[in-house]
Structure 1
Amino acid sequence: MSAAEIVDPTQSPASDRRRIFQILGPLVGVLLVIAAITGISLHNYQTTRRGAISLSNDLLRSQQRYVTQEVSDYLAPASIGALIAQDMFRDPLTNATPDTFMLYGRSILTHTPQVDSFYIANDQGQFWMITRHGQDGFEQTHFQTDNGKQVYHHVYTDKDGNVTGEGADPADGYNVVTRPWFAKAVKHQNDPERQLHWTDPYAYISTHQFIITASLAFDGHDGHKSVFAINISLNQLTSFLNKLQVGRSGQAVIVDMHGQIIAGHNVAVGQDPKTFDPGNVFLDPKTQPVFTHALNRFRIKGPGTGVVQARGRNYVTIASELPFVHRHWVLLLNAPESDFADFAQTARRQNIGFSLLVVGLASILALALVAQGRHVERLRKRLQRGRDQVRAENASLLEIASTPDLFDPAHEVPILTEALTARTSARRASLWRLLPDGDRLLCEDAFDPARDVHSTGVEISQRENGKLFEALEEGHTLSIADASQDERTQNFQRVIMRAVGANTLLFQPVRNAHKTVGAIVLEDPGQPETMEHIIAIVASIVALRFAKPFDGAAEDGKTGLTVPAEKHDTRFDEGFLLAPSDTTAGEPVAAGVYPQVPVMVISFVDPYAPDRDSIARAMNVIRALSLEIQKIARDSGLFSVQVVSNRLVLVGGCSQTPDPSAAVRLADAAVSIREACLSSLAAADLDPVFRIGMDVGSVMASELGESPSVFNIWGDALNGAELLTGSAPDAGTIQVSEQAYMILREHFLFRARGMFYLPNSGITRSFILAGRR
């Protein structure tokens, strides 16, 4: 069967769908709220933005109409003045001053600031001009010939026409009829659409004005052609456009179709006044990209509004014609979109803030719904587990009740322990009968579900488990998380529980008629909240089974214990090169824990070899070394030297009172033994094949057995010395623990080895003993 075909019966598709809905439902709801708010916010922003742009277009169109009207009014004096002039100045021109013309000019110049000057000329070369001079004066210029030289004769007057001075400038080669304003006016005299001729803007050097001239030709009473011209200063138009408020930071400019600036925003900014030529100023795409784009749009699409993006911002622009001259002028206005749509940005930020608040509240609600759903799901599962537990207990009770001879102690009933492990998820469950003497508990049945094995016959006594039997007699239930740390269960854990690696213990005494008859033991139970009922049920059944008299003969038959028929009187102390009795005057060593015992382990490589000669040579070296080591140990006053396979265990001293001199004697012996081993192995042409480890710590010591008996030690010091021996870096080195180093550092030379891991103790340091100081 493939893995895809395997179905877990504990998983319900409906439960999975419900769990997914509980989590995803609120999250999807929040996402829908976020999507709705985002869509509404974007729609509102776009609607507001379009409204703002539409409003800005309306405002710019209104501004455009206003500017157009202002420009028309600005240039109107030229049209009106020319029409009036052709009716006023039909009299022939002479060298005499045309008083009517001068009076007319002074009046217009006084009341119309945008008019710069007036010309009047005829086809006979007569030319008169009036312009401003000084604060309130005027300059009358007449082109004439004096003594064969052409000159401009200037007459300066005050505002009332009184002469204040005269002057003259050379005018060689000047011919008025060839001037563009004169020639073009004559050419278009009979053209009703272009009868009033406008020149291109040009700079008038003497007054630093940017001038445009409007001229009109008419016939005088003498039949000669006369031309009246009025000069309009565009400087005033530029000043007007600079002061014009377009939005908050908008600009306006008048250009022709070639991009030449007629008047507009900051035309002369950054220009040298001495060299500035206002007639040669064009739109710069680098510094004026908005106006450049707007003019290009006008060339393609004609007049209208648009949105231009430049410098990372959007600008609203409008372009319209100013059809007052022969070459079309174009009025361009622009303003940043933000000038009109700031309220939209503010509204968007507010909408975003409110949206985030709503999203946050919706998220909190969703999390609350998820948490509530999970809580309900946990309650549902708990109720379901309760129902399942009841059904399982009912099934177990039915199975137990249907077991034959349930209360007959002569028949085994494995269903009881199996039901306990099934309902409590225990690592192992066992039933213990209290024997009639009251000093022993006999395991009638122990079930290990991991191995599916039943066992019986194990027995514990009150002598080794006194505290546990006290709790049993008092009927106290013991629930212990770490049985190895509780004095009541320490021995039980070492003898019984450690075999299966269990540590948690539930010990339930079984009583019948107020008398203890046994106990139920659960090792590492997994469901403490559901075990009460099944334990009570099994305890009731077990109480009835254990209440029946116990057959002692059957007990003896079951145990099968045998007693040795005879004792051997042979001593097993041949493993000692230096027996402990040699240093204790024949008195046996008291059994117990010795807190500070120096222990050294010398490990040799296994001497086994495949050929006889090598074996014989190795055995000769071993015998010689054993004699040397035995002699060194006696001379050093060591406590004992024991041979264990290919290892030697040397004990410097064994007393209840710590004796630092014992560690010093053992270290002296280590140095001497190392030298002896190196010398003997070198003489036999053998490599150094030994390592030495030394530790100081607690050990347990005792005489084992009786007639014969043998002395033995075990504990931390011995284990540490063996580990130090096995981890010594090089053959022939002596590695000592940090505890040994602290005692010996005043007497011997050491070098640090590094960190060393000691089981059950953790990280410590080790050192290499080099020699005596």
Structure 2
Amino acid sequence: MSAAEIVDPTRSPASSRQKVLQFLGPIIGVLLVIAAIITISLHNYRTTRQGAISLSSDLLRSQQKYVTEEVRNYLSPASDSAAIAQDMFREPLTDASPDAFMLYGRSMLAHMPQVDSFYLASDQKQFWMVTRHGKDYEQTHFQIENGHGVYRHTYVDQSGKPIGTGFDPAEGYDVTVRPWFRGAIKRIGRGEGALYWTDPYAYLAAREFTITASMAFQTSDGHQAVFATNIALNRLTSFLSNLQVGRSGKAVIVDMHSQIIAGQTAGDDGTQPTFDPANMHLDPKTQPVFIRALNTFKVKGPGPGLVAARGKNYVTIATALPFVHRRWVLLLNAPENDFSDFAITARRQNMWFSALVVGLASLLALGLIIQGRRIERLRRRIEIGREQMRAENASLYEIASTPDLFEASHDVPILTEALAARTNSRRASLWRLLPDGERLLCEDAFDPVRDVHSTGIEITKRENALLFEALFEGHSLSIDDARQDERSQNFQRIIMRSVEATSLVFHPVMRGHQAVGAIVLENPSRADAMEHIVAIVSSVVALRFSQALDQSDHQTDARPGVTHQLQDTRYDEGFLLPPASGVQDEAVPSGIYPQVPVMVISFADPYAMDRHSAERAMKVVSSLSEDIQRISRETGLFSVQVVSNRLVLVGGCSQEPDLNAVLRLADAAVSIREACLSLLASVDIDPVFRVGIDVGPVMAAMLGRDPAVFNLWGEAINVAELLAASAPDAGTIQVSEQAYLQLREHFLFRARGMFYLPNSGVTRSFILAGRR
């Protein structure tokens, strides 16, 4: 039978169709939404664009009317002055200065900034001119002196008072051959059409571009005279350049031969206009929009248009300016974007909104698609969780049913096997701390790959100091690369390299606050199943290792010929400061004392060392003892008792609470800490002490007879010991909440956090920083 003919009875055709619809349905729905949004967006864009173009054309028409009126007003002084001049200056012209002309010229120049100057000439070659001279005026008269032509200049103020004179040679000057003179003579007698306009020309002396309007008339003696008005086009060009056409549009006045009269002359690059008489025509390279607009005007006449140039669309409008003898054309253009930006912005916003809608629809579709997949994954997770739970229960049942589980003398391989199976470790091992505190012995190591158990390996504190430090402090370590971490480098080299393991989990096994061993996992890959099984195995191993440790202690005690002093390096209890040594002949009665301030100073346990180091350490211990004894006497403490590597200091012992006793004890703690830090630093030894302070009930009694020994024990001493043992750093003073409440007015503290007291619950602890 071929593979195609094989039928899986667990697969249903209806289920397959449902899966197909589960994927295709949302996808088709999203595609329809996208198509509808695109269609609507395109329709809205086209409609908006047409409206924007129509609106821009209307705006340009309004702008064109405004500019036309402004140009008319700009050039109107020429026609108005000519109309007045032919009535004012009909008297015969003589060589004398025509005062009426001079007065009229000065007045017009004062009120019309676009007018540059006025001419008055006759067919008898007489010529007068009025123009500006700074803030004053210049009156010029052409005359013949000694057979040579001369320009005589008279400089006057606004009232006509002379302020200076001058002259320039005018050899060969003949006013009757000037274009403005001849043109006006030819148009004499034509009424309103008698005004003659010259072509624009550069007036190099004034660095301006000028056009002259002149009109000829007959004087009363039958001679012909011409009155001319010179209008500077620079101001008209500045007006057109500063004209706001859209945001970046331009305006220009040209004639039918593309010669620029006024306006933008430097092209469409937006540079400042210049007036070069040799280059005053529209340039097809730099001004293609104006060229096409003018050509359209020549073909279709005035009106708006749409021109494409340089990859952009421009809205243009052209209109004739019938003010001169030759037709002038006003051209305006502006990029379509200047008027349709709102449409583009609206389109972008619509696109963003559309993208948002499409994104939301896609998310919904994706949610529908993955919903079934999520349920399937959740079902698989539940199945995996159930499998893990069944496997853990099986492992726990197997561990619990193991005979002699807590007997240290019997091997229990199920512990390492369960650890390796549940955490998927390359190797799992149990290590017991030997009584000397210097070595860890491997009780059992299981290699699941080779299915073998091994034991007997030892590691020492000297070679793995940081690892032992974490063990004694009860800190679990999870190291991704044991080769690079200084805490585990040596352990990886000696132990882990044999199975090519790199990651390490090191979990101390504690009995109360004392480390008795460790659990080591090499290359564990199932962190989610690690915590539970490690906690269970750690509890079992703690009992086994504690039993082995106790048996080792009993065996050591039972050895013949070995005294108690040899098997334990700690000495009998004694006092550096006897109880109530400051009170003469007054015994402290036995009983319960409710509020006794107690301080415990815990020093690090001494380890095996050579003779030289031991002698050096004993000198340091002796000096510390003397300093502590001195400070205790100076501060008036009740007693200082030595208990192995701990000191128990009592501030006072009385039935009535004594606040001064607490203050004396805290003051002594600060002084002792400073003395210890100073002495240890002088011999280059790190701080090896921690301090705990509590205020609480104790019991006091005289024990024994001949001699009788005064002894204190109770809750305050136990809490102070726990505070000292759990101090976060060496050299710190940790106090209970009760002590903090009595000392906070006189000393500085910082909160440590919550502190667990056996048989009492959770309370707060604080770190004493110093005196206020």
Same fold flag (TM > 0.5): no
Q: What is the TM-score normalised by the length of structure 2? A: 0.44
Whichever of the two has the greater Rg, that structure is 1
Q: What is the TM-score normalised by the length of structure 1? A: 0.44
